[in-house]
Structure 1
Amino acid sequence: PAATAPPAPLRLLTFNAQHAAPDRARRQAAWLAQRRGADLVVLTEVGSGPGGRALLDALAQHGYPHLHAPRPGGADYSTVLASRSTPLEPVPTGIGFLPHRAPAAEIWVGGRRIRLLGLYVPSRGPQHRRNENKRAFQHAVTQALPGFLAGFDGPVIVTGDLNVVEPGHVPHYPVFGRWEYDFYRSFADAGLIDAYRAQHPAAPGHSWFGRGGNGYRFDHTFITTAHRPSVTACDYLHAPRHAGLSDHAAMHLTLTG
């Protein structure tokens, strides 16, 4: 019998755009287009003004014709899904609070269907609204995850800037509360596994650094537990952070098998 060809790899890059102004947004798009591992891109913290519009235009000009970019009703950040060659088929998420921060799509890669959800969790917020949007968004995601995964037997990937660290993070930061660690745990409860931690059990994996140089692992990628063997690489790329394109490292995932 003829040998069955393995599925084509899915190469995904997650990148925090840090509400870039137009010039930096265009440089971000150029950098992404040069990455072999950026066939599919999830961009978080995309601004709603001229910088965000410049980023979308530049992505299209640099070879990303497929975009799923729900825009906020007011001045808020959003999450964008972009694809070089694979069409994006938007799907409902069940996330009713700040849905522009949580777009989802299904894609065909190598003959298999994959579901993707990009997330940008609000930061702790100003003093007069401390954690209100963050709590509400996290609650909405936690409630929606089981339904989002239900009835879909292909790989499901959830990725983005969650603005939380994992339990046991090194170093420990007392500012994070139990409700934030519970949000991280909710992905495992829904049937997902931390792809980076599965590949690197002991690495710190810091993706953002404070002014004092302290590292935080804010950016995460999860995949359905049953498809963990398909993950062949999951790493942080610090080049865009060192080049001043963002204050976050990018995150790369390769899925094969």
Structure 2
Amino acid sequence: MTQTSPARQVAPAPAVGQQPAGHARLAPASEVGVVTWNVQHASVSRSADQVAWLAQEPTADLLVLTEVGHGPGGTALCDALGAAGYQVVDPSPGGGDYRTVLASRHSGLTCLGSLTQVFPHRTPVAQLTIGTVPVVLSGLYVPSRGRPARRNVDKRAVQEAVSRALPALVAQHRGPVVVAGDLNVVDRGHRPHHKVFGPWEYGFYDSFAAAGLTDAYLAHHTPGTDHDHSWFGRAGTGYRFDHAFLTSAHRRHLTACAYLHTPRLTGLSDHSALSLLLRLPSPPAGAPAHPAADHPPTEGNRT
């Protein structure tokens, strides 16, 4: 991982008495849900509506939010998450580019830096301990193909950098590692098949398995037959752009994974969200609630 400009960390607002309406609901300690969602550079008002939806979603314990805007809407989104009880890791915007934001209903979310030096504000990495289990959350937002003058240049650069970094990310952590976000690619068995994707894009998707990561959605659905989508083009054709991967060594902890279409169908974003649920070992009697975090010996670590 690489060191980047300091990320803004938004602490959750202190709760007094009962949680107010719209306050994030915390799941049992032995279970943790992860939601990744492209929020489509929402405005200030739409950001508030997005956070209201996330706060009532039972599986939205850990968040990977992609395409967060660099203007007032992005700032409003992070502030609203803090007000709803989330701890937030907000990378510094990169020259007006979109960014990826991480958030947690659980305390102790610590930024470890970025997965890549290429567009680092799109690849933040954070860690927290749930019960006695250190969990790493790595967010990704891969650029689209881009304008003709830079067709596929940025997309290739990010994909290649991520593919190089994934093996070390997996090797350096003993607990579950979740890598999630909008990859702007589909898997080889995608239905329908889209001719626009080339071998280098499928190779990028394949690099996750090569690094020891399992596609959480395909782990719970039959490839090629039971297929859902997270984004739809103008012609109504579906694409599974939004993904979540879990270290294969911890696949046994994955209990559910599904797309949540309500935010897309209600106009909160043009993307559906992806949700997964992990059942982690409960702390043994007498064990400390939060043991020392699993910080790897890398130069890019930051607390």
The normalised TM-score by structure 2 is: 0.81
Structure 1 position 149, deviation (Å): 1.4
Give the fraction of aligned pairs with identical amino acids, expressed as a percent.
56
1:7–1:112 CA contact under 8 A, matched in 2: no
Distance 2:266 2:115 in 1: 37
Matched residue, 1:186:
207
Distance 2:174 2:57 in 1: 29
Matched residue, 1:215:
238
Structure 1 position 151, deviation (Å): 2.9
- 2:46 aligned with 1:15, yes or no? no
- 2:179 aligned with 1:147, yes or no? no
Structure 1: unaligned runs, 5 residues or longer: 1-5
- 2:154 aligned with 1:133, yes or no? yes
1:237–1:251 CA contact under 8 A, matched in 2: yes
Distance 1:92 1:148 in 2: 12
Runs of 4+ in 1 over 4 A off after TM superposition: none
- 1:84-103 Cα offsets, whole Å, 9 max, x none, are 23221111344110000000
SS of the aligned residue for 2:113 comes to: coil
SS of the aligned residue for 1:33 comes to: helix
Distance 1:94 1:123 in 2: 19
Matched residue, 2:257:
234
- 2:82 aligned with 1:60, yes or no? yes
For residue 59 of structure 2, the aligned residue among 14, 27, 37 is: 37
- 1:181-237 Cα offsets, whole Å, 9 max, x none, are 000000000000101001002321211111111000000010111111110011000
1:115–1:155 CA contact under 8 A, matched in 2: yes
Matched residue, 1:87:
108
For residue 134 of structure 2, the aligned residue among 103, 113, 123 is: 113
Matched residue, 2:229:
206
Aligned length, in residue pairs = 251
SS of the aligned residue for 2:209 comes to: helix
SS of the aligned residue for 1:92 comes to: strand
SS of the aligned residue for 2:94 comes to: coil
Distance 1:221 1:63 in 2: 24
Structure 1 position 37, deviation (Å): 1.2
Q: Cα distance 1:34–1:75, how it changes in 2: closer, same or farther (>3 A)?
A: same
Report the AA paired with residue 18 of structure 1. Q
- 1:64-111 Cα offsets, whole Å, 9 max, x none, are 1x1111122311000000112322111134411000000011111121
The normalised TM-score by structure 1 is: 0.95
- 1:102-141 Cα offsets, whole Å, 9 max, x none, are 0011111121001110100001101111111000000110
Greater RCO (Cα-Cα under 8 Å, separation 6 or more):
2
Distance 1:118 1:83 in 2: 13
Q: Cα distance 1:157–1:49, how it changes in 2: closer, same or farther (>3 A)?
A: same
Distance 1:164 1:127 in 2: 19
Report the AA paired with residue 69 of structure 1. D
Please say which of residues 78-87 and 243-252 is displaced more in the overlay: 78-87
For residue 91 of structure 2, the aligned residue among 47, 54, 70 is: 70
Structure 2: unaligned runs, 5 residues or longer: 1-27, 281-303
2:106–2:130 CA contact under 8 A, matched in 1: no
1:7–1:111 CA contact under 8 A, matched in 2: no
RMSD of aligned C-alpha atoms?
1.3
Distance 2:172 2:103 in 1: 25
Matched residue, 2:275:
252
Matched residue, 1:104:
125
Structure 1 position 153, deviation (Å): 1.4
Distance 1:228 1:107 in 2: 19
Distance 1:85 1:10 in 2: 9
